[in-house]
A and B are shown apart, each in its own frame.
Chain A
Amino acid sequence: MGEKGRRQVKNMGASIGNIRSRVAFVDLTEGTVRYEDTPDEMVRKYLGGRGLNVAYLYKLLPEDVDPLSPENVLIIGAGALTGTGAPNSGRFNITAKSPESNILGDANSGGFFGPKLRASGIDRIIVLGKAESPVYLKVEDSVVSIENAEKYWGMDVNDVQFAFQRDLGQSVEAICIGPAGENLVRFACVMSGIKNAAARGGLGAVMGSKNVKGIVAVGGRREDALEISDPDGFLKLCEKLKKYLNDSLIVKVLGHVGTPLLYEVSNHLGAIRTRNSQDSTFEPTLNAEVIHDHVSKMISCHSCVVHCRHRNIHNGEGPEYTTIGLLGANLGIADTGNVIRLNNLANRLGLDVSSTGGIISWAIELYQKGIIDDSITGEPIDFGDYDLAVRLINSIAKREGFGDVLADSSQAAEKLNDPDRDYLTAVKGLPQSDPHDVRYIKAFALGIATASRGADHLRSRPTIEVFDLPAELIRSIYGSDVSRDPTAYETKEIVVYTHENIYSIIDAVGICKFVCHGFNSPKLLKFEHHSEMLEKAFGAKFLEGDLQDIALRIVDLERAFNNREGVKRPDDTLPRRYFDEPMPDGVAKGHKIDREEFKGMLDRYYKLRKWDGEGVVPDERVREITSPFSGITGGVEK
């Protein structure tokens, strides 16, 4: 697509209607709260959720800031449709500079907090500075207040939310950090409920560095809630879309067993990351149907039609595919109940399960290979040892002993005597979240190399690559012919580009990927559906072309942010093992990533994105996409 093409989809007539974007700027150092409505032009250009979050971050954060210093900016923002009751519209994003990767940190979460935040009258909270002592933020009646949290400090994720309910009312919804966030573990997450996690990039540590234990949305008056422009029309539309989604086979299957269904698929392919990716097949004890024996009920996030979340019989929720992969196969732990117990433990402590599993498995392989020894680990460490995993997870969260080393994530490379991270499955310092070994499906490989927050599948993972879809359907998704061979390199840049665009809009409207086109299905909710919902809910007009343009803008701005932090072409790479070692087992046996082919794929991707050969967004484009920010003033006192 040339410059001309970009103009063709340029937003000419988008109108935001009464999409509400009320921002509270909380300065913890000064102890002040200021309020501002996001300028219309910013909403028109970045919509909400992940889009507006990165826009604010780009504007407010100076470059080269230490992510754990008071200068970092922590942004919690709802999507445009979050809390409206649209199908699966419970999601919100948390954004800051990541202490794990030192680039963009941005995590999306479900649950009930996002809708409650909006019903309390606030759509986005921007946290600046650092409190002198532990605080929590209370949101009620469109006002944010800074409250003393001394008595909550030290509590785990479950206990603190229980205490918030006890002290502030049964119907409050909160986000919080556990001990891991308090202790500045670089992969601490922000939790909501007992399992929903804004997990990636260590944003819990950013919250902890500001001395914030949590944010509690209490509720609001009638006028604080979101006004729906066409109540009857919107309810009818939601009903129609829910019926459409409920008829989908993938929605039914996810509602029955949740994401663990993907474990068997990856295992069959010989692509389930096992023992730090040294192996690629593992035990059937982690198959979805076996997991299901440990589940008492499938439950859901706000307004969800899928209900893919397990309430397990070990006093927790989950596990997801990611958890059984990274705390199961990747640690060589096969016992179903034990893997679920590890999931529950990591959640209570507020740790990102992906990085937790990735970092521990890295250390174990280094120990196996004699690269590190007992002098640093304090004891022999090996795969398949559940008790060891429990000890390490606890010690990471408390930053005790060897756990204190591991708590630095990829930044422990020097101490672990693996300075080039040769044995760590990570990109840009962020351990890979997807339990799928990407040496086989080339679009997966390019996707984790280009993802704006490091090795992560939720930026672009094109699961539909494995579906063997008819050529005609593929053409309708990608707008051009794309190779149906998942192991082919050519045309896969188009796949990644398209899915990155789709997912950035999903994260901006605040809807779950599981009901959206492109993630697990070639059907489900598309841009046209988002447009329709935005129109009925808020009288807003965003044509499909407008959304496409917003998608390009979000991806470009995230890249421009990362460019500013020093990210360039050499960072868009893969773990060494993916290039050098062929996959050992299953259908995928023998596959690896060819360096030259990868280079070509990356070249073509940059060209499609209109970035230069070094992966840098051209200055002219940066000026264009940052122009809507001029209106931000940092808020006014209320």
Chain B
Amino acid sequence: MKRIYTNHNLCSGCRACSVACSIAHTGMADDARGAIRIIRNAVEGYEVQAVCRVCEDPECVAACMGAALSKDPETGRIIFDEDRCIGCWMCVMVCPYQGIHPDHKTGKAIICDQCEGREDAACVAACSTGAIVFVEIEDGVKVES
């Protein structure tokens, strides 16, 4: 299975990843619609890359009371059925990595689908510093090529 990894040392905080994700999935340019987020605070001086880590035993799936979230046993991806999402934000609260985001405007969660059906992951293609990679993992560990 594959996972998106981020490297906070390389991330300059520009959010090109988020806006590319938003354009790829919604056709709209809005980094708040991206499934990958750069949570940054200039005053405190940090930028945190928040994206789904396709956990082996995902807390979000366990917490989802509408059964909108499930884990694909083949690909390891988290499958999100938007129609079933009731916007209770349990997934958002239990995810230890801020990997799933609440869209307060639609009342639906936003989670990375690893750009299923696309040639490249949009966030990886948009990143100009190489801070984001999409790679194979085995037993939860990155396979170095």
Which residues B17-72 have CB closer than 8 A to chain A?
19-20, 22-24, 26-33, 39, 41-43, 45, 47
Q: Is the CB of B29 within 8 A of A83?
A: yes
Question: A194 within 8 Å of B by Cβ?
Answer: yes
Which residues of chain A are within 8 angstroms of B16 by Cβ–Cβ distance? 85, 238, 242, 302-305
> Is A299 in the interface zone, CB < 8 Å from B?
yes
**How distant is the Cα of A317 from the Cα of B126 in the complex, in angstroms?**
25
Docked complex Cα distance between A299 and B31 (Å) = 17
Task: Decide if A506 is an interface residue (CB 8 Å cutoff).
Answer: no
Which B residues, 108 to 145, have Cβ-Cβ distances below 8 Å to chain A? 122, 125-126, 128-129
Q: Which residues of A contact B26 (CB under 8 A)?
A: 222, 225
Interface size class of B (residues with CB under 8 A): 20 to 34
| Cα distance, A601 to B48, chains bound together (Å) | 52
CA A231 – CA B43 in complex, angstroms?
34
Please measure, in the bound complex, the distance between the C-alpha atom of A219 and the C-alpha atom of B47, giving whole angstroms.
19
A85/B28 contact (C-beta < 8 A), A165-B41, A221-B105 known:
no
The verdict on A171 contacting chain B, using a C-beta distance below 8 Å, is yes
Please tell me if the beta carbons of A222 and B28 are within 8 angstroms of each other in the complex. Answer: yes
Chain B residue numbers with a CB within 8 Å of A239 are 125-126
Q: Residue on A with the closest CB to B39? A: A170
A226-B28 contact, Cβ under 8 Å, with A231-B23, A303-B19 = yes
Contacting residues, chain B, for A170 (C-beta < 8 A): 39, 41
Pick the most buried of B13, B42, B106, B129: most chain A CB atoms within 10 A of its CB.
Answer: B42
> Closest Cβ of chain B: how far from A317's Cβ, in Å?
7
- Decide if A234 touches B126 in the complex (CB within 8 Å): no
Please give, as numbers and ranges, the residues of chain A lying within 8 Å of B39 by CB-CB distance: 170-171
Return the CB mask of A509-538 against B: 1 if under 8 Å, else 0.
000000000000000000000000000010
Complex contact A302–B126 (CB within 8 A): no
Report which residue of A83, A224, A235, A304 has the largest number of chain B beta carbons within 10 angstroms of its beta carbon.
A235
Interface flag for A555 (CB, 8 Å): no
Q: Say yes or no for A453: interface residue by CB 8 A criterion.
A: no
- Do A194 and B23 have beta carbons less than 8 Å apart? no
> Do B29 and A119 have beta carbons less than 8 Å apart?
yes
Per the bound structure, the CA–CA distance linking A489 and B19 in Å amounts to 46
Size range of the interface on A?
Answer: 35 or more
Interface string of B67-97 (1 = CB under 8 A from A): 0000000000000000000000000000000
Decide if A311 is an interface residue (CB 8 Å cutoff).
yes
**Smallest CB–CB gap between B86 and chain A, Å?**
19
Please tell me if the beta carbons of B43 and A119 are within 8 angstroms of each other in the complex: no
A228's partner among B23, B43, B129 (CB-CB below 8 A) is B23
Q: Which residues of A contact B28 (CB under 8 A)?
A: 222, 225-228
**Across the interface, which residues of B come within 8 angstroms of A158, CB to CB?**
43
Q: Name the residue among B29, B33, B125, B126 with the largest chain A CB count within 10 angstroms.
A: B29
Q: How far is the CB of A114 from chain B (nearest CB, A)?
A: 12
Known A-B contacts A194-B43, A242-B126, A304-B12; the reply to A235 vs B29 at CB < 8 A is no
Contact B29 A305 (CB under 8 A): no
A153 at the interface (CB under 8 A from B): no
Per-residue interface assignment for chain A, residues 281 to 310, with 1 indicating a CB less than 8 Å from any chain B CB and 0 otherwise = 000000000000000111111111101000
Q: Which residue of B lies closest to A141 (CB)?
A: B105
Contact assessment for A317 and B42 in the assembled complex, using a CB-CB cutoff below 8 Å = yes
B20 to chain A, nearest CB (A): 6
Instruction: Determine the chain B residues whose CB is within 8 A of the CB of A301 once the complex forms.
Output: 14
A57 to chain B, nearest CB (A): 27
Contacts A170-B39, A222-B105, A238-B20: A307 and B29 contacting too (C-beta < 8 A)? no
Q: Does A15 contact B (CB under 8 A)?
A: no
- Where the two chains meet, the residues of A that have a C-beta atom closer than 8 Å to any C-beta of B are 83-85, 87, 112, 115, 118-119, 141, 158, 161-162, 165, 170-171, 193-195, 219-222, 224-228, 231-232, 234-235, 238-239, 242, 245-246, 296-305, 307, 311, 317, 537
* B contacts, CB < 8 Å to A: 9, 12-16, 19-20, 22-24, 26-33, 39, 41-43, 45, 47, 105-106, 122, 125-126, 128-129
Since A119-B32, A245-B128, A304-B16 are in contact, a sample of 6 more A-B pairs with Cβ atoms closer than 8 Å, ordered by chain A residue number, is A165-B41, A226-B29, A227-B27, A231-B27, A302-B16, A537-B29
Q: Which 8 A-B pairs have the closest CB atoms?
A: A225-B30, A307-B12, A85-B19, A225-B28, A305-B128, A300-B12, A119-B30, A300-B14
